[in-house]
């Protein structure tokens, strides 16, 4: 603790083992900004004193009321009782509201295992200062398992939490230290909502990876002809530096202002999401670019009626359905992709890559950034249900509904049915004008993604949707005003020449695929051999010498697998659910209190399930690779015939 000194020039003298020095030294290495803030503040009005059991307790005042943050009798026992109410089994991500003197945080981390990470929100810096003076948390801070948060910045917090998305899979602990919350109720309510938003976002991210991992790998492999033959997006980098871009999405508010887009034609880079390409063409506006990344063939309806002379360039993710590429008559460019590059790694294709977006609108935004456009103006990007609609009228969705439409079933009714169907996942949020509106969990996740992107974007972002949800980081402005301010001068540059699809490297691509097929066969064989040995182990766990011999042979197989690691990672893309299952099994094993024999049994069963899934995935991957070889040959032959 601090002791008063006789010399007024040194008001306080710290003991050699003072917690404050140790804690601040640790904080300086992990969070210098917080360390600086705590050095500057004094805990006025916060009282720390010994409890009857000995460990310190603390109280502070709020609105003239004294609030005790811990028991006066035994704060450690009180903390244990609080954590008894929490299920810490296999939980890795912990959110705590209120730090106090940290007893409950220490107990939570102790019970959660060595891989868990706790984010503790404490907006009262005076309380934190008192805590770091009273107790030593330096070792815990240096492990980086304890992350202290003193203020809410949603964008920066999301950025910090993105590294932990996978940790949310087994669930997360959200714990309130009630006395701390009573001292700062509004701040804690904001933190609680931010955590809920992140967990919803993480859940969607994980589900997307698990559900679409196999389909992503299949589509990327099918699309290798375009990936190999189309030019790199690198030719577009900075092509429209400082020029305005307008991203046209298909939200219901687009009907209010889409007619104004004619005033911006030729004065701004127009980037359409696939849904709005046809409506823009019908308005007489040919976008410079259109984006696509969806897996399903239903997206072909957006490309079915395009004029053969269209100059709009398609910027697509390689995971998009190949049916779109077959229909698009204009130039096609594919974003760089890790899976495709790993398949063709001997070729070292110089593919530029944009960030991977959740939607076509995200991809359009990244394209505008890559072009170095400024400002970037959004229209039709509602991310919510403006005026009881989910899509702008006039899109291809109405073609799907048309057989059901009639006197007693209007387009508006079909749109409302679409919204009501999502009632369990609807949430109320502020709209662009601060009024309440509705969105749903998936769209809300996309909003979080956008707000994170806007926070780091170097260009000015303008939301000219004139409807939809509030998007933090974007300036709200009517489209007419945005055009008047930023889209008056004619574009003096043009889209760099595309050059068409080239066939000169198709033979190299075929050779790469044959090499991958040989490697996948080896992985399948090693997996089958490993599976047999694991079955032998689980059947003879009581014979440890035999088990040890089998383990030694498995180790030899593992050595054979090491040179195949890059291709092994490709195979696991076809079995994301089993990878997730293994992750969850590991967490449960780490948390379980088991005998050595039972732990070994569960570990072997976990490995059996995983290796069987790998062998099955390898077989499926071989079929996809064989199909890709056929597609490369057919594409080359068809291109040669067209050229002749």
pLDDT of 394 higher than 80:
no
Q: What is the mean pLDDT of residues 412-438?
A: 62
pLDDT at 16: 58
Q: How many residues does the chain have?
A: 644
Q: Which residues, including other chains, have CB under 8 Å from residue 618's CB and lie 6 or more apart?
A: 520, 521, 523, 524, 527, 571, 574
Instruction: State which H helix or E strand residue 433 sits in.
Output: none
pLDDT of 388 higher than 90:
no
pLDDT at 389: 53
pLDDT at 390: 47
pLDDT bracket for residue 403 (50, 70, 90): low
Burial (0-12, 13-18, 19+ Cβ within 10 Å), 611: buried
pLDDT at 365: 98
Output the CA–CA distances (angstroms, integers) from residue 347 to 217, 478, 505, 509, in the order listed: 19, 48, 9, 7
The percent of residues in the chain predicted with pLDDT above 70, rounded, is: 89
Cα–Cα distance for residue pair 644/637, rounded to 1 Å:
11
pLDDT at 135: 94
pLDDT in tens, 445-484: 888 889 989 999 999 999 999 988 899 999 999 999 999 9
Instruction: State which H helix or E strand residue 36 sits in.
Output: helix 32-40
pLDDT at 15: 60
Q: What is the pTM of this model?
A: 0.73
Q: What is the mean pLDDT of residues 400-421?
A: 54
Q: What is the mean pLDDT of residues 146-158?
A: 86
Q: Return mean pLDDT, the chain.
A: 87
pLDDT at 4: 41
pLDDT of 3 higher than 50:
no
Burial profile 15-29: b = 16 or more Cβ within 10 angstroms, e = fewer: eeebbbbbbbebbee
Q: What is the mean pLDDT of residues 403-425?
A: 54
Q: What is the mean pLDDT of residues 486-495?
A: 92
Ranges 261-265, 384-388, 450-454: which has the least confidence = 384-388
Q: Closest Cα partner for 99 from 118, 114, 81, 80? A: 118
Considering 343-347, 383-387, 603-607, the range whose residues carry the highest mean pLDDT is 343-347
Helices 596-643 and 576-591, packing angle to 10 deg: 160
What six digits make up the tokens of 328? 């698009």
pLDDT at 432: 77
pLDDT of 235 higher than 50:
yes
pLDDT at 14: 60
pLDDT in tens, 40-72: 888 788 999 999 999 999 999 877 788 899 999
Q: What is the mean pLDDT of residues 555-575?
A: 93
pLDDT of 405 higher than 90:
no
- Which of 187 and 358 is assigned the larger pLDDT? 187
The percent of residues in the chain predicted with pLDDT above 90, rounded, is: 61
pLDDT at 421: 55
pLDDT of 506 higher than 90:
yes
Q: What is the mean pLDDT of residues 270-287?
A: 95
Q: What is the mean pLDDT of residues 392-407?
A: 54
pLDDT in tens, 301-330: 889 889 999 999 999 999 999 999 999 999
Ranges 141-145, 189-193, 211-215, 306-310: which has the least confidence = 211-215
pLDDT at 345: 95
pLDDT in tens, 205-234: 777 777 778 888 999 999 999 999 999 999
Considering 56-65, 147-156, 546-555, the range whose residues carry the highest mean pLDDT is 546-555
pLDDT at 545: 93
What six digits make up the tokens of 427? 């949430």
Q: What is the mean pLDDT of residues 273-278?
A: 94
pLDDT of 8 higher than 50:
no
Ranges 167-171, 280-284, 341-345, 416-420: which has the least confidence = 416-420
Q: Where are the alpha helices (DSSP H) in 469-564?
A: 479-486, 506-539, 544-561
pLDDT bracket for residue 9 (50, 70, 90): very low
The DSSP-derived string for 209-277 is HHHHHHHHHHHHHHTHHHHHHSPPGGGGTTTTTT--EEEE---TTHHHHGGGHHHHBTTBEEEEEGGGH
pLDDT at 114: 77
Q: What is the mean pLDDT of residues 498-513?
A: 93
pLDDT bracket for residue 398 (50, 70, 90): low
């Amino acid at each position: 603790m601090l002791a008063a000194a006789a010399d007024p020039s040194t008001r306080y003298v710290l003991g050699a083992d003072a917690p404050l020095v140790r804690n601040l030294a640790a904080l300086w290495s992990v969070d210098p900004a917080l360390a600086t803030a705590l050095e500057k503040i004094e805990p006025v009005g916060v009282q720390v004193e010994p409890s009857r059991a000995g460990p310190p307790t603390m109280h502070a005042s709020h609105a003239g009321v004294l609030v005790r943050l811990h028991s006066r009798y035994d704060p450690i026992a009180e903390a244990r009782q609080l954590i008894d109410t929490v299920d810490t089994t296999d939980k890795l991500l912990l959110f705590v509201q209120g730090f106090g003197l940290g007893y409950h945080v220490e107990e939570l981390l102790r019970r959660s295992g060595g891989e868990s990470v706790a984010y503790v929100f404490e907006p009262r810096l005076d309380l934190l200062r008192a805590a770091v003076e009273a107790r030593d948390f330096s070792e815990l801070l240096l492990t980086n398992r304890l992350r202290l948060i003193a203020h809410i910045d949603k964008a920066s917090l999301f950025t910090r939490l993105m590294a932990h998305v996978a940790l949310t899979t087994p669930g997360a602990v959200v714990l309130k230290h009630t006395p701390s919350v009573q001292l700062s109720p509004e701040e804690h309510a904001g933190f609680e909502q931010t955590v809920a938003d992140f967990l919803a976002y993480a859940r969607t991210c994980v589900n997307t990876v698990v559900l679409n991992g196999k389909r992503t790998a299949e589509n990327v492999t099918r699309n290798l002809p375009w990936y190999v033959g189309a030019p790199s997006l690198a030719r577009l980098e900075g092509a429209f530096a400082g020029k305005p871009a307008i991203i046209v999405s298909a939200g219901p508010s687009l009907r209010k202002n889409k007619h104004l887009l004619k005033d911006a034609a030729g004065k701004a880079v127009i980037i359409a999401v696939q849904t709005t390409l046809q409506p823009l063409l019908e308005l007489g506006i040919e976008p410079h670019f259109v984006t696509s990344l969806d897996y399903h063939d239903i997206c072909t309806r957006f490309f079915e009626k395009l004029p053969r002379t269209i100059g709009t360039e398609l910027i697509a993710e390689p995971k998009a359905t190949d049916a779109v590429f077959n229909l698009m008559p204009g130039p096609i460019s594919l974003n760089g992709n890790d899976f495709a590059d790993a398949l063709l790694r001997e070729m070292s294709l110089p593919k530029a890559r944009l960030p991977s977006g959740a939607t076509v609108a995200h991809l359009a935004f990244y394209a505008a950034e890559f072009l170095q456009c400024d400002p970037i103006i959004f229209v039709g990007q509602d991310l919510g249900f403006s005026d009881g609609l989910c899509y702008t009228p006039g899109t291809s969705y109405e073609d799907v509904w048309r057989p059901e439409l009639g006197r007693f079933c209007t387009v508006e009714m079909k749109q409302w049915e679409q919204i009501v169907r999502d009632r369990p996942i609807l949430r109320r949020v502020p709209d662009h004008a601060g009024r309440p509106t509705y969105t749903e969990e998936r769209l809300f996740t996309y909003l979080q993604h956008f707000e994170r992107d806007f926070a780091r974007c170097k260009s000015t972002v303008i939301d000219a949707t004139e409807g939809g949800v509030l998007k933090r980081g974007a300036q709200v402005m009517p489209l007419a005003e945005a055009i008047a301010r930023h889209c008056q001068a004619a574009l003096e540059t043009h889209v760099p020449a595309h050059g068409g699809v080239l066939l000169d490297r198709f033979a190299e691509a075929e050779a790469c695929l044959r090499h991958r097929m040989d490697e996948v066969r080896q992985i399948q064989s090693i997996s089958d051999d490993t599976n047999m040995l694991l079955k032998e182990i689980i059947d003879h766990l009581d014979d440890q010498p035999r088990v040890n011999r089998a383990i030694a042979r498995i180790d030899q197989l593992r050595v054979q697998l090491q040179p195949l690691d890059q291709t092994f990672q490709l195979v696991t893309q076809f079995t994301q659910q089993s990878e997730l299952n293994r992750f969850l099994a590991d967490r449960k094993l780490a948390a379980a209190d088991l005998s050595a024999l039972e732990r070994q049994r569960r570990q072997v069963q976990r490995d059996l399930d995983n290796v069987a899934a790998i062998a099955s995935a390898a077989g499926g991957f071989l079929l996809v690779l064989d199909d890709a070889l056929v597609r490369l040959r057919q594409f080359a032959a068809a291109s040669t015939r067209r050229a002749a």
